Amino acid sequence: MSRFGNNEYAKKYYQEHKQERLDKAVKWQQEHKEERIVYMKKYRLLHKEEMKVKAKAHYLANHENILSGYRERAKELKTEVLGFYSKSDLPKCVRCGIDDLDVLCIDHVDGGGNTQRKSIGMKSKNFYRWLKRNKFPEGYQTLCANCNLKKKIQEGEL
């Protein structure tokens, strides 16, 4: 027996009352929301360096999981946007029909893509998110890299 009493009894009690304890904790947090915000602000100020070290350690320990999750969400978003602009369930080039996600991209039908992205202060990696947030505006299409380059040459953009 430990100094805190019977460990088996405590484990059993906590398992049997798990939901009850969770509900009580949630209720307390809701009732003391403002106090918790003030406390956390003070805590962050007092423990700033310690929190940086812990965050860095967490990131390093979970680096691959964090990146793989980000890559997966980015791929899903790209698939959704390119699929919409290729007017198909599966993304494909509207000119040649290639469906390799690695070579597909968004093309501005009337040109001027770089100018538009600069005017709204956006890097190309956030462009898919912008298109989705703005409910897929008109004036875009899905092209493969070859067709996109060919179009630029034909229209004299290069």
Total structural domains within the chain: 2
In a domain? residue 54: yes
Sign of the four-CA dihedral 79, 142, 147, 74: negative
Same domain, 77 and 39: no
Same domain, 43 and 101: no
In a domain? residue 88: yes
Provide the domain limits for residue 106.
Answer: 64-154
In a domain? residue 2: no
- Please classify residue 158 by burial: count the beta carbons closer than 10 Å to its beta carbon, then call 0-12 exposed, 13-18 middle and 19+ buried: exposed
Same domain, 68 and 137: yes
Mean pLDDT, rounded, for 96-117: 86
In a domain? residue 1: no
Same domain, 96 and 144: yes
Same domain, 94 and 108: yes
In a domain? residue 142: yes
- Are 75 and 132 within 8 A, CB to CB? no
Same domain, 144 and 114: yes
Q: What is the mean pLDDT of the chain?
A: 88
Same domain, 57 and 68: no
Bridge pairing between strands 140-144 and 104-108: antiparallel
Cα(137)–Cα(85) distance, integer angstroms:
10
Q: What is the pLDDT of residues 14-57, one digit of tens each?
A: 899 999 999 999 999 999 999 999 999 999 999 999 999 999 99
pTM of the model: 0.61
